[in-house]
Structure 1
């Protein structure tokens, strides 16, 4: 077969199943390259997608509703796009023509499904793995895990941020801890120390509890301060300057990550609730309960007396035309509290620091600012939902009318819509008690954008989509782009992936069902089985999703990359229990720090059996008590729904 042309070999191996294609990669380097062909894996991703499986199921159903069957036939034959018949079935070339028509039909179906954009480089082999391979979860060392000694106290992470290398890939994971310290872990996919703790600052660094206090007092006071507000967007990392910004109550701490020393502390008039992405040459946007500020790291911090402001009376009007009540010292004062997420829209003009700022939170409209004219409000977009998280992808929004199923669209129309420059704003939050996933088009083309110059209420209905039906039965907590998909988490512990249309499901799982059994522990009940699933407890949630590729990295790994580089697009998760984990896809977990820790424990523990049994019983009791309390809370919420 080595003498056959590559085109013929590709046609032959296209009949293999994905598992067989993976085994074929081990034959030779030549077959490795052929088995990683982008078009081959794109076709496989399409044939295994929910969209295509649903279409085949409806087409083959014998007891389908006649009216629905008529609609399917009408869509398939729309403008003869899917007509596979031939003019003369008895002609010598009829069979060849029929095969060509079937290929043409498949190409049109793939074009309607294709979530990628014309200038986007997608590794479809990696995409297939992320869509269908088993998910594996690894926990970072000592991040919220139970202490191995009785004297060791459990430390929780109160936030998380990623330090990217010069290629835009995750290098270090940085997190503030509940004792006021800062911990740094190795997060590099090519590092043999991935998941290990690299450095830790002194206790009480962030809340400014120094050595004049004894250790126990420092820890107790720091823990009270660090866990008081529970802010999610409280960490922002500047990868170019190697600095971290940590919000603690109303103080913004600027920390040099080389030395783990505080460079400056900037007080604000109210508790800080959100930080934007930190990027060199661009001022950091800081949101508090009642204000929005621009923080320029090049300027020295102001004296505490100069940043004081006062809200007199308060606004009783719920109209969002009065969200900006004035400029008090260069910042915006809000009439309604709770900025929870701040997004800097990506721009190609990073040298001048200009660009759009979007602010969302407990209020039901998104605020839009132009940094050049800050603090003047550029406009607002009414959502109706209370937003928890905002992100964006640097590609134009494709209207739902052009998506597959409403009805089938021509590839030319889709190609035209995807070729327009622009961004898609993605938000996640809560609407009337249920999860809300929303997409908004931002483009220079007025018909494809929600923007309107100096408008506060205009929204183009054809340039947005709101999924408030199938997203989740509980509030959405975080959202992030992941390859050609969108991933979000909800209040029930679920992680869900959908296509870029915001509604077509790809896969999902619950973090409470994805924990690895601990080593050497025998379980005889469902309670102990649940408790021994790694360092994770019962009923956890994912409150922040961090992709391991920088949002500014628009060119992913190439299709002929080595297998190790395929792990660069994993996800780092920060859970509600203060744990930090990395979610990978494939046969092996991203890393395993338990083996290293267990080996050290076996070397240093001479009486392991008795102590181990006692710890197992303690964990079983803790798990049972927590489960009982959460079941009671669930019953109370259910009774509250009946007015009791």
Structure 2
């Protein structure tokens, strides 16, 4: 076998199951390299995909007698396992399938292929993320009080500090006592999952040491939980600063010293922050206004904004803006998510800033002409989260071309310069997952510069199969999209927005030693991938295995990492035990020092008494 060329070995491996290929990697270094071939695992991802499974099942049913079809369907419903179409003893079916099978499979593989030209994907890692076991590792809790009481402060938000490689290095979160906690998310300090830094209590709420500890904590808890905004933390990786929204105050914090740099007040409670990427100004959304916060300028706030008057327009046109001191005013409250598109993209007739929230339309602004509203795009859904996929939108009619879209058409569509806006929200009580095309070519892009009806080939709205409850958060993850809903589910779908890949419930994937720490009925309010493709200084395909995970913030204020494999990324119980042991050791050391000091004090007192007795006193 060692003398065989790699091409021959790959051809042999193509006949093996995925589990056997994984086992074969342990034989030798040569087999390890050959068994990690991207093309091989791309084919395996395709063969195990829902799309191919459905196609083979339909092909099998079309060649069977009606009675056999009913029997197979009944068997599939009993076992709850999809039929994969590999029927070895049905010669008639195999004969029909083998007609031009190689060319047909290549065409279907090209139709399924989620990648775009120039995108390098590690399909071995992709297969793991599609089929491996899921685990949740919970970060160390911010304890307070006596260790026996098991009291801890919950997180009121989440932000990620990425290193120069684009990998999540630190997890930053405000806590309900007004402090800021920083966790080791990657293991760079050797304490992955542990709190490595924490600011003073009341830092974000401006409750200083002039108040006693209990008063500071109680007042801070009331302030930190009043607005309940999800997008309330934004991290500037370049300047190593964090922006934390607390009620109507934006706190700028130096993450190296955990000290306040500036505080900026706004007229209404802050409900959403955009990403922070110096030198681009941060976009701040309050209940009724939008602002650009430029960190290069000293904090200032015109007095005319403090008591601004909102323009109430025509009820039929519920989204209007006005300029009051350089900010945009909204006639409907509730921006919940703000998306910044890359300024380096080619101009396509739309602005850089997109805003979504409790209103049923996107707001679009051009930063160069802010606060003038460039236009709106009607969705109909109330949106919770906006994000972007740096790849062009594939129209649904292209995907659904029967029996498969022509390869030339797919290459043309995937080569279009543009990106895809992804929105998650609620439409008539059900979850809504929406995709919108933003491209240089106006015929392939949504446009908010006019009120004409959008082209059906420039957007897709999944309001049937996404979820039976509201969608809370959505992010791209590898070659897929992952979103969370109000029932505690995490669901992965293909980039088309409707083909399922896998799903789980956050309350069911914790390991046995973690389940006792998890409150049942929890939900995932925010998802963030541990890899930021826009910051990568190398190919995404070269990211080591086990690093492309998901960070989650739950409704109960827990912070966790969803990993792929049999073992958790880190074990929360062991970390808690280590932390408890360290605290107990520290307490014992303090008690020992206190006992030694008391002993020395008593000895000095005894010496003084003996000395006084020598004088007859």
What is the TM-score with the length of structure 1 in the denominator? 0.82
The residue that corresponds to 1:137 in the other structure is 136
Contact 1:347 1:355 in 2 (8 A): no
Contact 2:311 2:321 in 1 (8 A): no
The residue that corresponds to 2:435 in the other structure is 439
Which residue of 380, 386, 393 corresponds with 2:389? 393
The residue that corresponds to 1:467 in the other structure is 462
Unaligned runs of 5+ in 2: 71-93, 586-617
The residue that corresponds to 1:53 in the other structure is 53
Q: CA deviation at 1:451?
A: 1.8
Matched, 1:224 2:222: yes
Q: CA deviation at 1:558?
A: 5.8
2:117 match: secondary structure? coil
1:21 match: secondary structure? helix
| Larger of the two Rg values belongs to structure | 2
2:409 match: secondary structure? helix
1:7 match: secondary structure? helix
What is the TM-score with the length of structure 2 in the denominator? 0.85
> Separation in 1 of the partners of 2:414 and 2:335?
32
Q: Deviations over 1:153-200 (max 9, x none)?
A: 221000000000011111100000000000000111666321111000
The residue that corresponds to 1:631 in the other structure is none
Contact 1:288 1:339 in 2 (8 A): yes
The residue that corresponds to 1:82 in the other structure is none
Q: CA deviation at 1:209?
A: 0.3
Q: How does 1:86-235 map to 2 (within 5 A)?
A: 101-142=100-141, 149-188=147-186, 192-235=190-233
> Separation in 2 of the partners of 1:513 and 1:274?
30
Q: How does 1:36-47 map to 2 (within 5 A)?
A: 36-47=36-47
The RMSD of aligned alpha carbons is 2.7
Contact 1:125 1:559 in 2 (8 A): no
CA separation of 1:373 and 1:538: change in aligned 2, threshold 3 A: same
2:528 match: secondary structure? strand
CA separation of 1:603 and 1:383: change in aligned 2, threshold 3 A: closer
The residue that corresponds to 2:552 in the other structure is 573
Q: CA deviation at 1:511?
A: 0.6
The residue that corresponds to 1:430 in the other structure is 426
The residue that corresponds to 1:490 in the other structure is 485
Contact 1:189 1:567 in 2 (8 A): no
Unaligned runs of 5+ in 1: 69-94, 519-531, 607-644
Contact 1:400 1:406 in 2 (8 A): no
Contact 2:486 2:523 in 1 (8 A): yes
> Separation in 2 of the partners of 1:99 and 1:555?
45
1:128 match: secondary structure? helix
Q: How does 1:535-614 map to 2 (within 5 A)?
A: 535-553=517-535, 559=541, 565-598=544-577, 601=580
| Runs of 4+ off more than 6 Å | 65-68, 145-148, 602-606
> Separation in 2 of the partners of 1:18 and 1:107?
19
Contact 1:401 1:407 in 2 (8 A): no
CA separation of 1:327 and 1:11: change in aligned 2, threshold 3 A: same
1:567 match: secondary structure? coil
1:131 match: secondary structure? helix
> Separation in 2 of the partners of 1:108 and 1:483?
23
Matched, 1:414 2:410: yes
Q: How does 1:236-635 map to 2 (within 5 A)?
A: 236-303=234-301, 305-311=303-309, 314-315=312-313, 317-320=315-318, 323-348=319-344, 356-404=352-400, 407-451=403-447, 454-456=449-451, 458-518=453-513, 533-553=515-535, 559=541, 565-598=544-577, 601=580
Q: CA deviation at 1:151?
A: 3.7
> Separation in 2 of the partners of 1:516 and 1:505?
25
2:153 match: secondary structure? coil
Q: Which moved more, 1:340-349 or 1:209-218?
A: 340-349
